[in-house]
Every structure is written in C-alpha cells, then in structure tokens.
Amino acid sequence: MLKIKNLHAIVENQEILKGVNLEVKPGEIHAVMGPNGSGKSTLASVLAGHPKFEVTRGSILFKDKDLLEMEPEDRAREGLFLSFQYPVEIPGVSMVNFMRAAINEQRKYKGEQPISATDFLKLMRDKRELLGMDSQLVSRSVNEGFSGGEKKKNEIFQMAMINPLLAILDETDSGLDIDALRVVAAGVNKLQTKENATILITHYQRLLEYIKPDFVHVLYDGKIIKSGGADLALELESKGYEWLINP
Amino acid sequence: MIEQQYIDLFENYRRDLDANSSEGMNRHRDSAFDTFKQIGFPTSRMEDYKHSNIVRVFDADLGLNIRNIPVPVNPYEAFKCDVPNLNTHTYFLINDRFYNEVEQRKSLPEGVYAGGMRQFSEQYPEQFQKYYTQIADSNGNGIVAYNTMFAQDGFVIYVPKNVAVEKPLQLINILRGGVDLNVNRRLLIIAEENAHVKLLVCDHAVDDVKFVVTQVTEIFADVSAQVDVYELEENSEKVTRLNNLFSEQKDKSKVVTSSITLHNGYTRNNFRFRLLGAHAEAHAGGLAICDKEQHIDNFAVLDHSKPNCMSDELFKTVLDDKATGVFCGKILVEKDAQKTLAYQTNRNLLNSENAQMFAKPQLEIYADDVKCSHGLTTGHLDEDSLFYMRSRGIEKEEARLLLLVAFTRDVVDLIRIPSLQERLTSLINKRFRGELMRCGNCNVCK
C-alpha cells in the first residue's frame, strides 16, 4: 500500500529526514517510535503533503501512485488520513459543515453523489457515539475551545467519518488521560480491517498496550535505525533509546 | 474651490429646494449653509480623512433633482419581495425621495409612523423638530452640513412609548438616473420610551451612471428603547457612498447597528454613538468585502458620558486585488462614565499583495474605573487552517472560501433577525465565489 524509499526532506534549509525506508501492507499496524526531534512528525507531515516541507530525494508510492506528485487534498481522497499532533482551531467553520464538505469532496472524487442529509446525520451520530463524544462538540466550530483531549478525540472522530485506507496517527496519545486513551484506542481498533493500515507515531509504549502493532520502528536522526515486532516496544520501554543510538 | 459650484447652486435654487420640500426641513438650511461655507467638504489634509479624500468626488458635473422630477420606476414591480422567512414591511426611497405612488396598507401597530420625511414633518411637527438635525451634528462635518442644505425628503420611523414593532421594517434605497447624479438622503428613527424597532436598509444602484450619495441617519433611543439598524450596501463601482450615522441613547436603551458592504465603489461610513444615559448598550458591527479598486473607510466614535454603559465594536474587512480599507475607531470615556465597559475589535484580511489596509484604534479615557479593550489584526488567511482542511480532502479553493465565510461569521451573528443572518451568509458566500458581480436587483429579496 505504502512504499517509502530513501526519503530525504528539509524544512527551512535543515535536513530532517535523511533516508527513510518503510513499507506498509494492507491490514498492518506499524508503530514509529523515537526520541524527540528524530523526525517522526516530519515524516507524518511529508506523507500528508504539508507545504512547509520539501522532499529533496527519494520516493513515496501509495497504492502504486506517486504520492509526492499529489496535492494534499488528493492524497486524502486517495485514502490517506493524518491525525494531527496539534489539531487546528477554525473559528466560524462548524464541525457539521466541515465534515459534510470533506465527505462530499471525497465522494465527488470517486464519482459518487453527495451524501443525503439523513445519511449524513446518521453517520455523524454513529461515529460520535463510537468515540463517546458530546453532541455539543459536534455542533461547535472546528476544535474551537476544545480541550487537548477533546481535540484528539475529534481527530479520531474525523477518521471514523472518512474511513481512510491509511491512517497516520501523530502522537494521538499525548494529552489524553487513561480513560480517553482507552476510548480512542478502541475506536482505532474497531476501524482496523484487513484492507486498511495504520501508522502510529508515538513517544511512549503506553498506546501500544491498547493498539497492538505488527511492526515497531525506531526513527533516530532522520533514519529508521531498528525495526522489529511488538516486543521491541517493550524493550524500548525498559531500556530507553540509548542502547540503540550508541551501541 | 470645488465647493463654489455647490454654494452657487444652493443660492440660485434655494426657492426650488424649499418649494419641493417641507417647511420643517427648509428652516434648517440656512445654518447648514453657513457651516458649509466655512468648512467645506472634508479633504485628506484632515486627520480623520487622511485616507479618504472626499472633496475630489464632488469635483464632477453632478446633477441634482431639486425640482423633484419623477423618476420612472415602479419598485413594487422591480423589487417584489417574496423570499420565504424574510417577512418585512417594505418601503422605498427612489434616490432621495420617498416612493408613495401606491397606497401602502401596512399593519403597523397603533401610533407607529413609517414613511416619507416631508409628510412626517408636516404631520408631527413637534416630534420632527425635536430630533431633526439635533442628533446629527454638522459642526465640523461638511458632509452633514451639505446634506442638510440639499436634503428634501427621506424616511422616518416613529415608534411611540411602549410599542414594539415585531416585524422588521425594510427600506430599499434605489438609485436611478440617466446622468451622473448627486443624491442627498435623510433618515430619522425615533424610538420613545420602551419602544422596539428593527430596520434593514438596502442600497441598490440600478443604472450604470455615477452616483454620489450622502446619507445622514439620526437615531434616538429613549429610556429602555431598543433600535436595530442593519445596512446592506450592494452598489455598482460607480457609486460613492458618504454615510453618516448618529445615535443618541438614554438610560437602559440598546442600539445595535451593522453596516455590511457587499459591493461598492467608494464608501465612507461615519458612525457616532453617544451614550447619554446610564446602563445603555451600543453594539456596532461592520463588514466590508472589497476587490478591484474599491474603497471602504469605516470611522466610528463611541462616546461614553454616563456610568455603567457598555459598547462593543466589531469591524472586519476583506480586501482583494487593489482594494483599500480604512478603519478608525475612537472610544471616548468621559470623566463621569465610571464602570464603563468598552470593547473594540478590528480584523482585516488581505488576499492580495496589492490590497492595502490602514487601521487605527484610539482610546481616550478620563474615568478611572473602566474596562476598555481593543484588538487589531491585519493579515492573510491562516496557512495551517488551510492545510488542515485540505488534509481532509477539501479542495484548496473550497477551503479558502469556507475560511473566508467563517471570517465574516461573528459580524453576521450580531444581527438579531435570524432569517436575515441566513440570507446574508448565502450572499457573502456568493460574493466570495464571484457570483454576485453587480447588483441590478434587490438581492435580499431575490
């Protein structure tokens, strides 16, 4: 589904990614871990197409299409979803209008008719319940005045609404208390099927207690320096990153 | 001197001016004329007009319809108001005259007057003289003096004590002319104690000639009265609109105004709110969407002279192409106005490299126990918001439009007529999509 080869990326003339290789297949859950400043969020931003980052070398194929050639909106329509580390507040745009626009643009891309009002409301209600979100939140402006935890829940709510092929969750666990973490993890698990895949970007092993990864990768200084199974996360939890960085 | 031709015109046509107006209006012309001769039109040499050189728009060969030659138009045909949910009592001014061809049977509450100014000044001379030219101060304001010299008719709302007009009133100003025209129109709104009224004023230019319009609006809100005045400007690029709104409020009254410029040429809006009683509230909103070489200048003065009053100003501007925007907001808190709450917000969005915005907040506070704040920003659309929306599959242009409409949202929210809020949101949407090119009809009613 996703093939990243020798990816180099810069931001403000500083090279952050220095040759990342990663392959994700349908049905898989990958965890990307690593200390602060290793390039985890940059990798997520580059995949989503943030204009601030420039790819200088390497390639990314998504469903055998050149991802780097696509606008951010087309990447989303092809099935890529980024759960933001810092979701943006958009005063004046209601969650309802935002979601309806997102869903209808995706449907248009697939040559489908806009969603009917009743189907849309039902979808909203179902997914809201899945995440245990207050109906008040959904009637407000996008993320405006939401707490840190509510914003993260709202990201997963949007993911549930859009139902992407590949979800990239950038530090979704940060800012969540243990109850919220359980709800969010349960939501992610419910959305996981044989057809879609997830990349979890996280600092801590904590999230991986609730969402079981098939692969764990350690990103350090812009490269993946170690890959392994779910056990690797546990090893990192007890030993830290130091043994990998300075063996 | 540009003023000379208007001084000559006034002297030569004084008899015609009087003959086609009412005694009540005529008796104010002389003192206005004296003021005008002294101060003339404002020029950009004056600090308050630094970015709007008004005098130059009068340097033209403009006609004035002093003899009240009828303009062929039947607004009831042209502007049939049949929008669901926007149910108003509708009135028309053709240029500066009240349109009275058809007998209007309005089911207004007992004692309420809504109609032409000439007629009102004859029917209610006492009330008329109590307020006309008394709220709008022509001292230091050449446009008000000029308007008072030449105004021959206009629109009046008079709501007596304890009467609430539930259904909003709508005044549609239609500009028509075969030649370049100067139009001087006058509005007077009197709400007696505990009276309630809402007015929507729509400006439309029908013909593609140059119009220079001066408008003076006087609002009086007595104790516990509530007055809402919403103005919607949809003019052609050839229209200059010089608008002066003056409001005076007594104890516990509330005045809400909003001035929305959807399409214009050259606009200067002066607002002056005087809070003359305790516990009075004034809300002043403004929104302008300008592109090409359009010009918008909003100038607001909020004068607190009594304690425990509240004022809130919210002005927003969206500029594209080579448009120019100006905002100046003065808050004056006088010595006795303790416990004043005064807020001012001005946010401006520049969508092109060549658009320009000049903004200036001014606070003069002479009382020591007050809460006053002002916030001013001028910038571009937020890149992070744009990316966030695109990352959900929303086309860049569509995301931009959603953000632009969102930017205007809080100004629209100030309007206390829900159906008008909806209508405006849809018009603003169309405006940003370029589907509202030039007004040839009443868009509120279409």
In whole angstroms, what is the distance from residue B147 CA to residue B155 CA?
14
Give me the pLDDT at residue B248, please: 98
Is A91 within 8 Å of B406 when comparing Cβ atoms? Answer: yes
In whole angstroms, what is the distance from residue A104 CA to residue A110 CA?
10
Q: Chain B residues with CB inside 8 Å of A105's CB? A: 393-395, 398
B409 falls within a domain: no
Mutate to test the interface with A, among B383, B388, B421 (most CBs of A within 10 A): B388
- Distance from the Cα of A113 to chain B's closest Cα (Å) equals 16
DSSP strand pairing (B226-234 vs A223-228):
unpaired
In whole angstroms, what is the distance from residue A35 CA to residue A242 CA?
10
B414 falls within a domain: no
Tokens of B242: 């010089």
In whole angstroms, what is the distance from residue B225 CA to residue B244 CA?
21
In the numeric block, the tokens 């989503």 are attached to A48
Give the CA angle between residues A77, A13, A227 to the nearest 5°: 60
Report in angstroms the alpha-carbon separations of A137 from A124, A132, A175, A197: 12, 11, 18, 28
In whole angstroms, what is the distance from residue A36 CA to residue A40 CA?
8
B401 falls within a domain: no
Helices (H), B297-395: 383-390
Counted domains in chain B: 1
B399 falls within a domain: no
Give me the pLDDT at residue B441, please: 46
- Distance from the Cα of A57 to chain B's closest Cα (Å) equals 23
B92 interfacial to chain A (CB closer than 8 Å): no
Give me the pLDDT at residue B81, please: 43
In whole angstroms, what is the distance from residue B221 CA to residue B135 CA?
11
In whole angstroms, what is the distance from residue B238 CA to residue B206 CA?
11
Residue-wise pLDDT tens digits, B235-284: 889 999 999 999 999 999 999 999 999 999 999 999 999 999 999 999 99
B298 falls within a domain: yes
Query: What 3-state class would DSSP assign to B291?
Result: coil
Give me the pLDDT at residue B104, please: 59
In whole angstroms, what is the distance from residue B73 CA to residue B58 CA?
26
Q: Kindly identify which residue of chain B lies nearest to residue A110, measuring between CA atoms.
A: B393
For residue B141, how many other CB atoms are within 10 A of its CB?
22
Residue pair A23/A3 in contact by the 8 Å Cβ criterion = yes
Residue pair B177/B205 in contact by the 8 Å Cβ criterion = no
Q: Which helix (H) or strand (E) holds A56?
A: strand A54-62
Provide the residue-wise pLDDT of chain A in tens; the chain has 247 residues.
999 999 999 999 999 999 999 999 999 999 999 988 999 999 999 999 999 999 999 999 999 999 999 999 999 999 999 999 999 999 999 999 999 999 999 999 999 999 999 999 999 999 999 888 888 888 899 999 999 889 999 999 999 999 999 999 999 988 888 888 998 899 899 999 999 999 999 988 888 999 999 999 999 999 999 999 999 998 988 888 888 888 7
Residues of chain A that touch chain B, judged by Cβ-Cβ distance less than 8 Å: 48-51, 71-73, 75-77, 81-82, 84, 87-88, 90-93, 97-98, 101-102, 105-106, 109, 141, 158, 162
In the numeric block, the tokens 């643009």 are attached to A105
For residue B332, how many other CB atoms are within 10 A of its CB?
17
Give me the pLDDT at residue B138, please: 79
Q: Chain A residues with CB inside 8 Å of B405's CB? A: 92
In whole angstroms, what is the distance from residue A34 CA to residue A127 CA?
31
In whole angstroms, what is the distance from residue B181 CA to residue B210 CA?
6
Give me the pLDDT at residue B107, please: 84
Give me the pLDDT at residue B159, please: 98
Write out the DSSP string of B36-80.
Answer: HHHH-S--TTSGGGTT--GGGGGSS--B--TT-PPP---HHHHT-
In the numeric block, the tokens 């709007």 are attached to B52
Residue pair B143/B179 in contact by the 8 Å Cβ criterion = no
pTM: 0.92
Is B388 within 8 Å of A87 when comparing Cβ atoms? Answer: yes
Fold of A2-87+154-245: Rossmann fold (3.40.50)
Pick from B388, B392, B396: CB nearest A162: B392
Is B403 within 8 Å of A162 when comparing Cβ atoms? Answer: no
B78 falls within a domain: yes
Q: Which regions in chain B score pLDDT beneath 70?
A: 76-85, 101-105, 437-446
Q: Residues 368-387, chain B: which have Cβ within 8 Å of A?
A: 382-385, 387
Give me the pLDDT at residue A211, please: 93
Domain coverage including residue B29: 4-381
In whole angstroms, what is the distance from residue A222 CA to residue A37 CA?
9
Closest CA to B116 of B136, B141, B96: B96
Give me the pLDDT at residue B83, please: 42
Helices (H), B106-151: 117-123, 125-131, 142-150
Pick from A48, A93, A105: CB nearest B395: A105
Mutate to test the interface with B, among A90, A97, A140 (most CBs of B within 10 A): A90
Residue pair B121/B27 in contact by the 8 Å Cβ criterion = no
Give me the pLDDT at residue B70, please: 83
Evaluate whether ipTM surpasses 0.85.
Answer: yes
